[in-house]
Amino acid sequence: MKIAVSAAFGLEKVVSGELFALGLEKSGGEDGLVFFDGDQRALATANIMLRSADRVSLVLKEFEALKFEDVFQAVRAVPWEEYLKKETKIIVQAKSVRSRLSSEPALQSVAKKAVVDSLLSRLKGATLPESGFPARIFLRIHKDRARLFLNASGEGLHKRNYALKRSRAPLRETLAAALVLLSRWKGRDFFVDPFCGGGTIPIEAAMIMNNIYPAIKRRFDAEYWPSASKEAWESVRQEASSLERECGCFILGRDIDPEMTALSRECAKRAGVEELVRFETGDACTSALPGKSGLLVTNPPYGERLLGESETAALMGSLGKALSGYPGWDISLLTAFPGFEQVFGRKADKNRKLYNGALKTYLYQYFGEKDG
């Protein structure tokens, strides 16, 4: 099977690195997508074990789409009975970019008609009530070349079991995991998030360092396919569970709002890492860091989320002055605030563009002075 992993723009290399570590070597990629070839076990592994990916899908067909008939025949030729039951709810989405077939509603209609026609011809005498579990099909046409995807994950992989909605301006769990992976933290130094909010970054750090995989307990669309291998999925879950370990690293989440630190503790408990992360109430600009060296990873408040532009600038300036007293610390700071480096007081050693949902942000990284 050709398998596609979607990711937020800027995280394709992070996802590729995760796949490589899992023994799933990428076969290609483009903006927002990483491809690899694999079997049912590989499909289960990607869904259960990837931390920074948004979604895993099958690439069912690639073809030239010059006429609607091209779309109908290509989609109809897929052996849909391997993936859909007669009661499956069929959901088709289409996207067309710089192509002759530009009407997305028409493409959706033609593609769904082809799926239905295929099923009716192969499931003899069946009716399709569409009252059951959904199948999410996506048709993308770019410059008259079409790809047909079948969503294997279902809901996005950022939807972990622990997250609660009471956090103000939450950070996507997949992006939080990516920030930890990009920091290259090995678990030997202190890890601090001084603007922890709902605790997402410290929780993901604890899960990564203790090898707790994020989706062992959730179910995926691909498990409901007629062709699904229950043995493969169960085997991967057992393997993922057996790989958990106790790291013993120091992880601290801090927030000025006691309601947020209380929420963080609740989320950490739901994630099963309440004994692995410490949360406390404190001001990021005045509370001391726990040592001379360590790693600080954070997503502070900024204009589009919580604070006005002048308030954000003042906060970032105060934070920059406070952290200048800790030259041994590595800092990874994600923000959408324009002109961040000027108000923070230092040019970053490295920065990269990332997206938190639809919001464009930048990750600024500062590397601390090392002894010896």
In CATH terms, is domain 2-151 a member of 1.20.1250.20?
Answer: no
Rounded CA-CA distance 145/260 in Å is: 48
- Least confident residue range of 3-17, 188-202, 291-305, 344-358: 291-305
Strands 350-356, 359-366: pairing is antiparallel
Q: What is the pLDDT of residue 284?
A: 97
Closest CA to 253 of 210, 191, 312, 313: 191
Q: What is the pLDDT of residue 169?
A: 61
Rounded CA-CA distance 304/36 in Å is: 37
- Burial of 274 per CB tally in 10 Å (0-12, 13-18, 19+): middle
Quick: pLDDT tens for 225-275.
999 999 999 999 999 999 999 888 999 999 999 999 999 999 999 999 999
Return the bridge partners of 33, or none.
6, 30
350: its two tokens: 């490295």
Contact 104, 95 (CB under 8 A): yes
Query: For 208-217, what is the mean pLDDT?
Result: 93
Quick: pLDDT tens for 46-97.
999 999 999 999 999 999 999 999 999 999 999 999 999 999 999 999 999 9
Query: For 277-301, what is the mean pLDDT?
Result: 96
Percent residues over pLDDT 90 in the chain: 86
357: its two tokens: 């949902």
Per-domain residue ranges of the chain? 2-151, 173-213+245-366
- Give the number of other CB atoms < 10 A from CB of residue 122: 12
Rounded CA-CA distance 346/202 in Å is: 25
222: its two tokens: 């691909």
Query: For 183-192, what is the mean pLDDT?
Result: 93
41: its two tokens: 């076990």
How confident is the prediction for the chain on average, in pLDDT? Answer: 94
Q: Kindly indicate the confidence band of residue 306, based on its pLDDT and cuts at 50, 70 and 90.
A: low
CATH topology for the 173-213+245-366 domain: Rossmann fold (3.40.50)
Query: For 148-177, what is the mean pLDDT?
Result: 88
Q: Kindly indicate the confidence band of residue 308, based on its pLDDT and cuts at 50, 70 and 90.
A: confident
